[in-house]
Each structure stands twice: as structure tokens, then as C-alpha cells.
Amino acid sequence: MTAVQGTTVDLPTEDGTVDAYLAHPADGEPHPAVLLYMDAFGLRPRLTEMADRLAEAGYTVLVPNVFYRHGRAPVVELPEFIDPGARPEIFENIMPIMRALTPERAMRDAGAYLRWLADCPVAADGPVALTGYCMGARLSLLTAGTYPDRVAAAGGFHGGRLATQTPDSPHLVAGHITAELYFGHADQDPSLPVEQIERLETALTEAGVRHHCEVYPGAGHGFTQADTSAYNAEADERHWAALLDLLKRTF
């Protein structure tokens, strides 16, 4: 097993300073870079564990606290095991912060993350890969369309609101994407109903984007997050297989 080094780093954006977690093989050599977009619960031990697992597979992984405008992580106090059904105040606290992260702000930040990785000595030269979870899947899709020259592959898992009828829906960037995409949808996910799955598939196909979208049966929104009540171990392992396969094809 590859030894991994993980550290907290700060990086500048146009709007402030982002705290982030950086994980990479401990050999000091540059490795292909992966930008990991958090879910709404934010940068926490579960996400650093996921970053470490990718680093063990040979990648340099950056996990930014995309809510940095509201403070360093943890921005919202969380229990060790997250069950929003039992603790509705968790989402009550998170939702205003999520709404404040407009697509314009998020993509301005994405440029800063990508520039930082381009200068990072343990990140290999060239385009990066993305993976995102819940709201992070939306950010992954938007980043692939906003910075096509910097993104070689993008994954998204249990993403919500990927193809709405609003003018800022993420699927509308499909025509700009040059990366290969993979999406693992949860079939028990009210934030991504069948009509949005079909709308996303149509947009990617019509734009000629290399992509593969799958619906994971029996999986709910958040199925990769082992510290939450939504966790589904079988779907999570399927996600890891798909993500690592995408990265192997990319790099």
C-alpha cells in the first residue's frame, strides 16, 4: 500500500483564503491531480479519508472548503454520525450557506483551485480530474464546462439538480465540455428525478460529450458518505470502482 501524506493547506482566491486538505503519495514526486468537491456537510474526516484512498491509488488530491466565505471548516457543527432526519437543524443551518455559493462564485473559485494545482510541486503537469458528491457533483459538471482546457475527466455521484429548467442549470455547459464524464445517480433521490436524469443524458449526448451515466438501484442521496444515515456500502464500492476506472483511463 502506498504511503500517503495529508496536510491542511491555504490557497488564495479572488474573494479570500480557502482552507483545504491535500493528500498525495509520500514519495515527494508529482502525481496526476484530482480536485475533489465536497458534499453539503463539508470538509470533515470522511472526505479526508476519501482523499487518502485516492492518494493511495497514486493521485494528488485537493479537497477545498468551498464554503470558506463563511469560515474555516467545519463551517457548521456536525455530529459524529449525521442523520438529518433526526437533526433537521443541520440542513436549516447549511441551506443558506449553499444558496450563497452561486455558480458565478463557485466557478471563480474553481479557477483558483486549478491555478493552485498547476503550481503545486506534487501535482503533475497537465489537465486534472474532478470528482464531486451531492452538491459537489454539480460543481464538477460546471467546472468541466467552464475550464475545458484544464479538465480531462469529471465524475459526479448522487448529484442533485444537475439538469433543472433554470437558466443556470449545470447541464447547459455541456457544449463546452471536452472531458470524459461519469455520473453515478441514486435512484432514491428526490433532488434528481427521472426527468432530470433524462435531460442530462440528452444534453451530453447531443453535445458529443464522452460520458457514461448509471443509476444505482437502492441507493439514496449521499450513498458514498459513511458518516451519514444515507450510506450504502454496496453503492459506495461501486462508486470507487467506477471512479478509479475513469482515472486510469484519463491518466
Query: Per-residue pLDDT for 87 more than 90?
Result: no
Query: Per-residue pLDDT for 176 more than 90?
Result: yes
pLDDT per position as a tens digit, 55-81: 999 999 999 999 999 999 999 999 999
Choosing from 24, 171, 211, 221, the catalytic residue is 221
pLDDT per position as a tens digit, 96-117: 999 999 999 999 999 999 999 9
Do residues 116 and 92 lie in contact, with contact meaning Cβ atoms separated by under 8 Å? no
Q: What are the structural domains of the chain? A: 4-250 (3.40.50.1820)
Residue 247 corresponds to which cell in the numbers above? Answer: 482515472
Choosing from 109, 189, 227, 236, the catalytic residue is 189
Residue 213 is among the residues annotated as catalytic for this protein? no
Choosing from 24, 31, 39, 134, the catalytic residue is 134
Residue from 23, 106, 35, 29 nearest 250 by CA: 35
Q: Distance (Å, rounded) from C-alpha 215 to C-alpha 53?
A: 24
Q: Which helix (H) or strand (E) holds 235?
A: helix 233-250
Q: What is the pTM of this model?
A: 0.98
pLDDT of residue 118: 98
Q: What type of residue sits at position 233?
A: A
pLDDT of residue 85: 83
Residue 221 is among the residues annotated as catalytic for this protein? yes
